[in-house]
Chain A
Amino acid sequence: MNDQLKESTLKPANTVDVVEVFDPREMKPVVQPEVAATASHWEVRTQEQPYAFLSDKKVDDTNRYGQKIDLVDLTGLPANRSMYINENPDVGVNPNRNKQHGFFFTADNCIGCHACEAACSEKNENPAHLAFRSVGYVEGGSYPDYKRMNISMACNHCDNPVCLKGCPTRAYTKHAEYGAVLQDPETCFGCGYCTWVCPYNAPQLDPIKGQVSKCNMCVDRLEVGLKPACVSACVGNALDFGVVENIPENREQAKTSIPGFPTPDITHPNIRFQQTRSMPDEMKRTDSMPLKYHKEDDGTYTPMVDQKKGREKFWNFGRLSSRENPLVLFTLAMQAVMGAFALTFVGDQLNIAVLSQFKASSMYVPLLITCLAIGAAGNFMSAMHLGKPHRFYRGFNNLRHSPMSREILGVAGFMSTLGLHILFSLPANEVFQSLYSAVVGSNINDLIAVSTANRIATVFGYVCIAFTLFALYYMTRCYRIEARPFWNHYQVSTSFVGSLLSLGALLGGGVLVGTMAFNGLDYQSALATGGALVTLGIALEGLGLIGHHRDMSKASHEGAASHYIQCTTFGKTYILRNALLSINLLIALALTASAFTGAFGGALALVVWGLVGMTLVFTSLIGRALFYVLVVPTTMPGAFFWKNKGFEEHARDIGLANMPQVGVVPDLH
């Protein structure tokens, strides 16, 4: 602790000037104004007032979660490092610069005047559609016994920064200076995964620039001992800032939660609240999210469904199409090709007769080439979905923490080993052999022995299977996000594995049966094997959906709101999918059984299987589209226009979004 901090009270920078310091409350600035004026990071205003200066009187050892507040102690990193803000090598003059800082929000006081948001956007030069800080509100009671509580929220620079862990490009750094979680938009390739995992909607994806940016804690101001711009601008005396766990002057509480704020358990956010005014038992949101907050016996508020749109069911087929369309296709495509490969490769390895026959046939390689092509198309779409597709290679940069990086690694591994497997499977392919002889004029065995090639192909095949499992596991991990309760359910696994089985068997089995039928072979056992896998996949998907429905129906979190939307806005679509899925399951089951018993066969059976396959593709597309469209994150409540998904959608629909000052980005696709 520095001596200045203990000794002095604030005096105006220029005592000979004509105007006094207006606030006579005793303040002990961490950095004296005359010292602040010497630092190069930020120009302190003439006669800056006490409210703008950081004024921590103490620093605790640990925060309430037991983590050290002194970040040098916590990390072992050296003190007095420069942050190189805008490449400025100077070290800030703030003596507390290695302490974890955080916001303090007096919810009792916020008037919703937008000064914090405006000051932030002005300083950071953000266009209308982006904001590092946003104010929304919850309200309750009935006239005139009515209360509105405004909530101003930016980044909470968490102890456990899930954004940092999730980001595949390593664009995030948690600094030992102030504990600031900062992100570099240049490194970011715009996948938006951090915006999925953050419970507070802090990272902002700019669809125009194709990159994320976020609150930078105004570290330039902190370095000279000033509070962030939003805090300094606060007109309601609601926002404050300092070393975490410190309670500002005139405040008495430091709670970790207020109505509308997601549970702090996920990330241990560095924000504390005061909220002493009693609020109605039920607090509603004005935005379109069908959520409200209900007061529990202990005084805390938990989310529950607010049936804003009644119980009426709609189709809304058009609304199934979203920004995440490429991911719908990518996940389904990858699961299908992984399944198809696994079926044919593993089937042969297990010495299942029809599959071994197939593997030996000249259709094996074409099937895998088709798989590779479908997979490549899926990957291409997934990459084009990035804000900066040409930076796709940065996706591997955070293998240490990011499930997304690992998924990307898994998929890339799958694709390349599949390719190598195909390459080394070629010599054994009869069509290739004759083509090779015709073009090159020599036997393929001169280049590589078919048996050697087969052995290498088998090795790559096993590696490919390993990558399949790895990719599939991390593909599911990517969606098991605490801030997205609708996804954070085993249904992700049943759906992904189910699709792998059903779509994989449809693709692999389809080619297998088709080949055999074309060659006039008996495909009955192939049909039985493939059909069993299709049936199993559909059944697994169905079981997951039943469990998901059961859990979401009784949940008291945002997942319940997602499910409410599923049952109303998309109610008819949802029923259609469920009905088709059930009927499909029964037919597939019956067909499989008949394939085993041979009770029903011939061309008619193939036609019915074709219908089952088409229905499967259709239900898979609807199901996966619903999966992406429905998710309601644990974000902060919005306002009536700003941060209201319902209004944003409406503004796009009616063309208001074409005026940039409306702050809604029009649909870009």
Chain B
Amino acid sequence: MLFGRKNRKPITIPQKKVAEWKYTTCNYCSTGCAIEIGLSDEGKVVTSRGHAGADVNRGKLCIKGLLEHELFESPGRGTQPLTREKFHQPFKPAEWDQALDYTAAKIKEIQTKYGRDSFAVISTGQLLTEEFYTLGKLVRGCIGTNNYDGNTTLCMASAVSGYKRSFGSDGPPGCYGDFEHTECLMAFGSNLPEQHPIIYWRLKEAKEKRNFPLIVVDPRVTMLAQFADIHLPITPGTDCVLINSMLHVIFKEGLEDRAYLEAHTNNLAELEALVLDKRYDPIHAQHECGIDEDRIRTVARLYAKAKSAMSIWTMGINQSTHGSDGVANINNLNLCTGNIGIPGGTSLSITGQCNAMGTREWSSCSGLPGYRVLEKEEHRQEIADFWGIDPEFFPKQRGLTETDIFPAIETGEIKGLWLVATNPMTSMPNTPRIRKAMEKLEFLVVQDCYEDVETNQYSHVYFPASVWAEKEGCHTNTERRVNLVRNALPAYANSKPDFWIFNQMAKRFDNGHIIHFPDTPEGAFEEMKTLSVGTDRTLDISGMSYDKIEQARGIQWPYRASEEGRKGQNGLKGDPRLYTDGKFQTPNGKANLICVDFVNNNEQPCDEYPFWLNSGRVVEHFHTRTRTGKIGNCNKFSPTPYMEMNPDAAEELGIKHQEYVRLTSRRGDAVVMVQLTHRVARNAVFIPFHFHDCVNRLTLGLLDPYSRQPAFKQCSARIEKVDQQEAARLNAERRAF
């Protein structure tokens, strides 16, 4: 009866009418998903789709990637360069030449007056690799300041540092394919379903085909923790105690891979002595890390006895005062169980930004291009020769990191700053301190796709940059896969690709006329290829080209020109794993076992500030929301900040679900809406970090001694009741988008 109507109503479904698909790689996180952008006859972006033939994502995309093509026309995009004398004056529109001239003159003026290093540059993990390389050339080769870093110090510095300390070189040794082989996976402070949904899907696919135990270490009951076979709700910041205790069990019970350790590692006796100390006996360690001794033993045995076992981690490890140590300790665990360089056995850092790897490899932030360091004379010579400048122009050791640059502004050592695609007013810990530092700057350049990026309120010059597929170039993902963004559409309004901005700026410095700056990103890529050639070099991309990368939907490095006729993907398959031969990038070729004796220097909950304050990411937002905050179908899932709080704790304080509270810490205060859930412990709260004027007004951000990465995830706070109407007003006022 219901079917029988003669006149069926018309069926109208939106049609996208795609005339051409352009190949790109996602510009958000480090998973490295391949996306095709659909262009209409008129060259307008009408839709996008995951590339089903790309090994990384196999056609899948997360919410951000699915809607990413909507960002090109989003509100707040910069349309033209802006300049002003003082940050409290209104901006005046300027031509590019004017703005660039003014900036170059100011940089030179500050450098002349206060010294070369008094002007600092902070970049990002969001640019394309060729742009990073070019920026490195500009800063190291032309401007010549040593205070040059990326915001990757906020997310990946500890992984880099830990890798370097253990293996002698940066570069995650494993790949997503390891999920297909592993017999046991341990995730430390990594919530894949929320942070890296596509990597989670790869893991889920692997588990559905062949189940294996999943152990999750996380103080919150995340979705991954719920799906884990074993969830270890650890006391914040004590991962190193847990790992040492696992190593204690492994050595005590003879479960270590002694043959591997003896052949391929340094420092075995010292490590063994440390972890066998009774402090790390599970009987004692349990009180420090909050995981009972039986569970520690169970997990240690499970991990050690598995034919192959792998660890992944993200900010739960990196963003702590033991970030670098935590990474080194995870490496210890995998070296001791023989799980480096084998299928399914690895230490895989799940990276943050889309091109965090690209900046690590090529930006010269922490040294010189291609994982070269300033501290080695031969590296300085090599690069100076290649660029055609005097090696004495380079400093002989690395300057300040991002997290030390702001204190140096505070002390007056740094007077001028150039920020490229980063928003410290929202992203840095303890923003009250950052705000004060910004006010002190004599000259600030903000280069960003968005004019409404919060940091722009303190700038003297604003450069409107192009975004994602308005440009062309490469990204490197978590598993060392170099992938390509094709230029799909012209730059928005009068914005320019970052690559162009750097090239133009170089022309205004003396060395810019000596060093060759190629006109196209592909030209820069060819330079990088040349610089990457080396027999022992892991970071070798010399066999790649833009066309080959697109054809293979991404190629992992090392991929050497000298190795023609490789197997897999019609010869386009790079090495899925590093260190398969047990040979490391250390002076003697052996990996270093690092002794990590745990010292608890975290700000702990106390009578005055009784709650652990934890921060992190939600799936629908990226970083400081300058992009996702304007895409309604992302933003609507969390349009204002909120705090996960335990209902029992709330009951005690008389706080109700969906009410506002005020949080205070020793740094400042914030107003958030309360979401009551047993996902968090009674003495812990969690607030997403994406929102301006929110959690980072409270965070301490003690620095890791090796990586200088801030401990965003461990500090303490107090919760106070607040007038609901006032709080609502404040919350609305603080949301410009």
The answer, yes or no, to whether A420 is at the interface (CB within 8 Å) is no
Determine if B12 and A19 form an interchain contact, defined as CB atoms under 8 angstroms apart.
Answer: no
Residue from the list B18, B193, B642 in contact with A43, Cβ < 8 A: B18
Interface assignment of A236: CB less than 8 Å from any CB of chain B: yes
Q: Of A81-89, A388-396, A458-466, which stretch is located at the interface?
A: A81-89
Which residues of chain B are near A653, meaning CB under 8 Å?
728
Measured between beta carbons, the chain A residues less than 8 angstroms from B53 are 17-19, 46-47
Most chain A Cβ neighbours within 10 Å, of B620, B639, B735: B639
Query: A19-B553, A83-B11, A663-B639 are contacts. A118–B66 as well, Cβ < 8 Å?
Result: yes
Per DSSP, chain A at the interface is loop
**What A residues does B258 contact at CB under 8 A?**
none
User: Which chain B residues lie closer than 8 Å to A83 at the CB level?
Assistant: 11
| B52 and A52 contact, CB distance less than 8 A | yes
Kindly list chain A residues whose C-beta atoms are within 8 Å of the C-beta of B569: 18-19
Give bound CA distance, A19 to B551, whole Å.
9
- Would you give the 0/1 interface string for A139-160, flagging 1 where the beta carbon is closer than 8 Å to chain B? 1011110111010000000000
State the CA gap A394–B66 with chains docked (Å): 38
Known: A46-B53, A142-B648. A236 touches B14 (CB 8 A): no
| CB <8 Å contact, B9 and A660 | no
Which residue of chain B has its CB nearest to the CB of A45? B52
Which residues of A lie under 8 Å from residue B12 when comparing CB positions?
Answer: 86, 184-186
Is A322 close to B, CB under 8 A? no
Given A19-B553, A124-B13, A143 contacting B200 (CB threshold 8 A): no
Type the 1/0 row for A307-345, where 1 means its CB is closer than 8 Å to any CB of B.
011000000000000000000000000000000000000
Query: Restricting to B613-658, which residues have a CB under 8 Å from any CB of A?
Result: 619-620, 629-640, 642, 646, 648, 656-658
Given contacts A124-B13, A236-B201, contact A141 B55 (CB under 8 A): no
Alpha-carbon distance A171/B12, docked complex (angstroms): 13
A553 interfacial by beta-carbon distance below 8 Å: no
Contact A182 B11 (CB under 8 A): yes
The verdict on B4 contacting chain A, using a C-beta distance below 8 Å, is: yes
Partner-binding segment picked from A109-117, A364-372, A408-416: A109-117
Return the CB mask of B588-619 against A: 1 if under 8 Å, else 0.
00000000000000000000000000000001
Residues of the A chain whose Cβ atoms lie less than 8 Å from the Cβ of B193: 111-113, 235-236
Chain A residue contacts of B635, Cβ below 8 A? 128, 661-663
Give the dominant DSSP class at B's interface: loop
- Decide yes or no whether A588 CB sits under 8 A from chain B: no
Chain A residue numbers with a CB within 8 Å of B50 are 45
Q: Point out the residues of chain B lying under 8 angstroms from A433, CB to CB.
A: none
- In whole Å, how far is A301's beta carbon from the nearest beta carbon of chain B? 18
Q: Which of B342-350, B379-387, B672-680 contacts A (4 or more CB under 8 A)?
A: B672-680
- The reply to whether the CB of B491 lies closer than 8 angstroms to some CB of chain A is no
CB A528 to nearest CB in B, in angstroms, measures 52
Docked pose: A43 CA to B201 CA in angstroms: 24
Given A19-B54, A109-B204, A143-B221, check contact A656 B732 (CB 8 Å). Answer: yes
Interface check B395, CB cutoff 8 A: no
Chain A nearest Cβ from B6, distance in angstroms: 11
Given A656-B639, A656-B732; A184-B9 close (CB under 8 Å)? yes
Interface residues of B in 386-430 (CB under 8 A from A): none
Pairwise interchain contact A114-B620, C-beta atoms closer than 8 A: yes
Determine whether A34 belongs to the interface, using a CB cutoff of 8 Å to chain B.
no
Are A111 and B200 also in contact (CB < 8 A) when A146-B678, A184-B12 are? yes
Q: How far is the CA of A48 from the CA of B51 in the complex (A)?
A: 8
List the B side residues contacting A43 at CB < 8 Å: 18
Task: Encode A627-652 as 1/0 by CB contact (under 8 A) with B.
Answer: 00000000000011110001100110
Chain B residues with Cβ below 8 Å from A71 are 3
Q: Is there a chain A Cβ closer than 8 Å to B494's Cβ?
A: no
A651 to B673, CA, bound (A): 12
In the complex, per-residue mask of A95-119: 1 if CB is within 8 Å of any chain B CB, else 0: 0000000000000010111110111
Residue A535, interface by CB 8 Å: no
A566 to chain B, nearest CB (A): 20
Residues of B within 8 A of A47 (CB): 51-53
| Stretch of A172-180, A239-247, A541-549 with 4 or more beta carbons under 8 angstroms from chain B | A172-180
- Checking A22, A113, A176, A308 against B58 with a beta-carbon cut-off of 8 angstroms, the contacting residue is A22
Contact A18 B570, beta carbon cutoff 8 Å: yes
Residue B301, interface by CB 8 Å: no
* Whole-angstrom CA separation of A176 from B107 in the bound complex: 72
Tell me if B731 counts as interface (CB < 8 A to partner A). yes
In the complex, whether B231 has a CB less than 8 A from a CB of chain A is yes
Residues on A with beta carbons closer than 8 Å to the beta carbon of B668: none
- How many of chain A's residues have a CB under 8 angstroms from any CB in B? 98
Give the CA-CA distance A164 to B2 in the complex, in Å.
8
Give the contacting residue for B642; candidates A18, A640, A642, A660; CB below 8 A: A640
Q: Does A60 contact B (CB under 8 A)?
A: no
What residues of A have a CB within 8 angstroms of the CB of B546 in the complex? none
A216 CB–B CB distance under 8 Å:
yes
Q: Are A121 and B3 in contact (CB under 8 A)?
A: no
Inter-subunit contact B10/A641 (CB<8 Å): no
Q: Which of A122, A172, A175 lies at the interface centre, i.e. has the most chain B CB atoms within 10 A of its CB?
A: A122
Chain B CB within 10 A, most for which of A87, A182, A288: A182
* Neighbouring B residues of A237 by C-beta, 8 Å: 201, 204-205, 208
Q: Is the pair B52, A117 in contact by a Cβ cutoff of 8 Å?
A: no
Q: Report the Cα distance A150→B226, complex, angstroms.
A: 12
Q: Verify if A441 is at the interface (C-beta below 8 Å from B).
A: no
Residues on B with C-beta less than 8 A from A171 are: 9
Q: How many Å lie between the Cα of A223 and that of B653 in the bound state?
A: 57
Nearest chain A CB to B481 CB, angstrom units: 13
User: B209: which A residues are within 8 A, CB to CB?
Assistant: 25
Whose C-beta in chain B lies nearest to the C-beta of A179? B3
Bound complex: CA of A74 vs CA of B225, how far in Å? 47
Distance in angstroms from B195 CB to nearest chain A CB is 10
Beyond A175-B3, A237-B204, is A641–B646 a contact (Cβ under 8 Å)? Answer: no
Question: What residues of B have a CB within 8 angstroms of the CB of A45 in the complex?
Answer: 49-52, 59
Interface: A519 (CB within 8 A): no
Residues of B within 8 A of A172 (CB): 9
Cβ–Cβ < 8 Å partners of B14 in chain A: 123-125
Give Cα A556–Cα B397 distance, bound, in whole angstroms.
72
Within 8 A of A (CB), among B195-253: 197-198, 200-201, 204-205, 208-209, 221, 223, 225-227, 231, 233
- Indicate whether A520 reaches chain B with its CB closer than 8 angstroms: no
B100 in the interface (beta carbon within 8 A): no
Nearest CB of chain A from residue B479's CB, rounded to whole Å: 15
12 further A-B pairs in the complex, CB-CB below 8 A; given A146-B679, A653-B728: A71-B3, A115-B61, A128-B635, A143-B233, A170-B5, A232-B59, A236-B201, A308-B656, A661-B639, A662-B639, A663-B639, A664-B636
List 8 interface pairs A-B (beta carbons < 8 Å), by A numbering.
Answer: A18-B552, A119-B61, A122-B47, A139-B679, A148-B226, A186-B12, A236-B193, A250-B208
What are the nearest 9 A-B pairs in CB distance? A128-B632, A663-B636, A47-B53, A184-B9, A111-B193, A661-B632, A118-B63, A75-B3, A146-B678
